[in-house]
Chains A and B, each alone.
Chain A
């Protein structure tokens, strides 16, 4: 009884601002015309899947997650392992990796824009080196830039999470292992990685969710119609919103939520399995 009373406020807030609007949107995705139209079944979904731009957006978003997340986790794990041992200026380095998290994106984006513009800094450097310039934002390179930006923005956060995970691994495991004659690599593979797995699941989940949020940076960097390699799901939804196309907007949102739910529940299941296995 008391449990519900305490949960109440946050539940009400959650329903009011997330759940109820989403359910309404879910209903809208099956109707036609303006708000409160006729029921048309899955018509909006077939329309949506026929839209080449939607397919491109979905493909780009998936590609971005598939490239960005593994890279991010790999790099932040490397950093975490490096910073977990005594190192010159260690605390300063840790802080500096956290900085991108607190800097407002909008202010950084301007610098990135100037840097990667056709007439920007990077191309000026290339020119001085006698190389041909590259249109970074208007070619397939654009995805790479956003991946770099995503890693830069999120590496500090992931690193802190992984560092906490690393420090919770008991030191005697390593001591025992080295007494038994296990090498550095062996220790990393059979102790660090194994005991870090629960943290890893969490980091993976957060990174995937953050990769969906990269729209903000992309939008600020390249506007509502960027080069098609950068055209993400949220671009599509944003543009549909401005075109008053509630149907496609809600259908796209529903599909995206379904994908995220399937992915996260799969991850959570895997984590549970893993825990049962280790216990």
Chain B
């Protein structure tokens, strides 16, 4: 009898724990299944009648559903999806966004950070499990890791095998920028150009001559010294940082190493060569830029580093830094091709485990031809964007610090040059990555004069090799 009671009691206890367990699981489950709850469906009215529960690639009516995921809601994606659906009645496109509420400048930052975290975690988990969206905007996602684990479709063979895809319609260098030995796993819808805005009038006044289309960093240093020696309008040739944002001493290291990444890191054989004299030399060269006054750490110089995000942004940047300014190509390393350096934006990849890869590829092509985000990859769209701006006539720059800005006239001649810079796009910048972070974090001790260039180089080599050998 007593024993019976004991058994009953323990059974009750187990049931209780199990219930607690399962209960616990269902509440914490909301974090695990953030894939569904964390993502907000694109406006239900604009997407098709596909109800949220319907996850199958093909529904009963034989309609194919492409799930397209992006962190930031994008008007252009919505429009393209709607137009594509209208043209292809057998396809429906479902947009998923990572952002849970509308972005606002005040206090929205925290929410956005946690949304990004949720978005990457849930997308990573879904992708690893062989599920996930069919089409992905790779912003914030670890595209390299996806690529390494064969989670993204190789678009190289898609492009080669598709007769309707004509590379000539796009800025070819930018398109090939994501090309690696193993293939190409994402295509950009847009790109940005990085270069410098220079005060043309002030430079002309000093009488210093240079060819920005072909200059190397060495040429730039020489030019910089000449500019400084001419004692013209400015003290420094260039100020570290980008646009109005003044950067620290690590700005140039990061920027130059990013431009010369292949020189110091061999990704295929997983070897770094930061302990080479070349790297210590580069560090010393950058330091001498500061010492000689070629690079300033505050105020203004003849040149300002900028990233051009759109035709409008191009004119606004030129306008913002003086009346008579011009866009100059960034210097490059000796052994690299001369040309404008660029970064791809709105990179889209196709999930290798998607069941509707063909449809997704077709839609991706459609996106490339029918969206106009920033500087569009499609040459025709690029031209349209410039034409549109010319017709518009004036630009009202965004206000900075509640300071009201006056509209200014569009300069058609300057705009026409932009296309030339885009055509000359040659070098893809890769500003992200652990090795670059390590480089930027460890060079400070050298620039403040606390360690020798060789010591810093050795330390960077030590850590970079750990990363590369993993």
Contact = CB atoms under 8 A, between A and B. Distances in A.
A84 to B, nearest CB: 42
Interface in B456-470: 459, 462-463, 465-467, 469-470
Contacts of A109: none
A228 interface: yes
Interface stretch (A165-173, A187-195, A236-244): A236-244
A5 B459 contact: no
Given A138-B459, A243-B142, A243-B470, A118 B127 contact: no
B50 interface: no
B149 interface: yes
Interface string B2-33: 01001100110110011001000000000000
A236 B434 CA distance: 14
B470 A53 contact: yes
Interface string A133-147: 001001000000000
A248 B469 CA distance: 13
B470 A236 contact: yes
Contact of B6 (A2, A16, A33, A243): A2
Contact of A228 (B7, B145, B462): B462
B205 to A, nearest CB: 43
Contacts of B465: 52-53, 228
B17 A244 contact: no
A51 interface: yes
A140 B234 CA distance: 46
B145 A1 contact: no
A271 B459 CA distance: 45
A244 B6 contact: no
A6 B3 CA distance: 13
Contacts of B150: 33-34
Given A34-B149, A118-B445, A244-B142, A225 B466 contact: yes
Contact of B17 (A9, A53, A231): A9
B130 A35 contact: yes
B129 interface: yes
Nearest to B462: A228
A184 B470 CA distance: 53
A203 interface: no
B124 interface: yes
B128 A2 contact: no
Given A236-B470, A244-B149, A13 B17 contact: yes
B378 to A, nearest CB: 32
A226 B441 CA distance: 12
A135 B452 CA distance: 13
B155 interface: no
With a 10 A CB-CB cut-off, give which of B7, B130, B145, B462 has the most chain A CB atoms.
B462
B152 to A, nearest CB: 11
Contacts of B466: 53, 56, 225, 228, 231
Contacts of A226: 463
A8 interface: yes
B360 to A, nearest CB: 18
A227 B462 contact: yes
B450 interface: yes
Contacts of B315: none
A35 B131 CA distance: 10
A5 B4 CA distance: 12
With a 10 A CB-CB cut-off, give which of B128, B148, B467 has the most chain A CB atoms.
B128
B415 interface: no
A30 interface: no
A158 B162 CA distance: 69
A33 B149 contact: yes
A6 B129 contact: no
B469 A5 contact: no
B151 A34 contact: yes
B389 interface: no
Contacts of B142: 243-244
A245 interface: yes
Contacts of A209: none
A79 to B, nearest CB: 36
Contacts of A236: 470
Interface in A213-255: 225-228, 231, 236, 239-240, 243-246, 248
Contacts of A225: 434, 438, 463, 466-467
Interface extent on A, as a size class?
A: 35 or more
Given A34-B127, A239-B470, A228 B14 contact: no
Nearest to A16: B21
With a 10 A CB-CB cut-off, give which of B128, B146, B470 has the most chain A CB atoms.
B470
A36 interface: yes
B53 to A, nearest CB: 23
Given A5-B7, A33-B150, A244 B145 contact: yes
Nearest to A244: B145
Contacts of A8: 10, 14
A255 to B, nearest CB: 15
A2 B145 contact: no
A236 B470 CA distance: 7
A37 to B, nearest CB: 9
A6 B10 contact: yes
B14 A12 contact: yes
A240 B470 CA distance: 8
Nearest to A240: B470
A215 B3 CA distance: 47
A78 B438 CA distance: 42
Contact of A9 (B14, B438, B445, B462): B14
Nearest to A243: B145
Interface string B118-160: 0000001001111000000000001001101111000000000
B422 to A, nearest CB: 34
Given A5-B10, A5-B14, A245 B149 contact: yes
A54 interface: yes
> Can you list the 5 inter-chain pairs with the closest CB atoms, starting with the nearest?
A5-B10, A53-B469, A52-B469, A53-B470, A244-B145
Interface of B: 3, 6-7, 10-11, 13-14, 17-18, 21, 124, 127-130, 142, 145-146, 148-151, 353, 434, 438, 445, 450-451, 459, 462-463, 465-467, 469-470
26 contacts: A1-B7, A2-B3, A2-B6, A6-B10, A9-B13, A12-B14, A34-B127, A34-B128, A35-B128, A35-B130, A52-B469, A118-B445, A119-B450, A225-B463, A225-B467, A228-B462, A228-B463, A228-B465, A228-B466, A243-B142, A243-B145, A244-B128, A244-B145, A245-B145, A245-B148, A248-B470
Given A34-B130, A138-B459, A240-B470, 5 more contacts: A34-B128, A34-B150, A52-B469, A56-B466, A228-B466
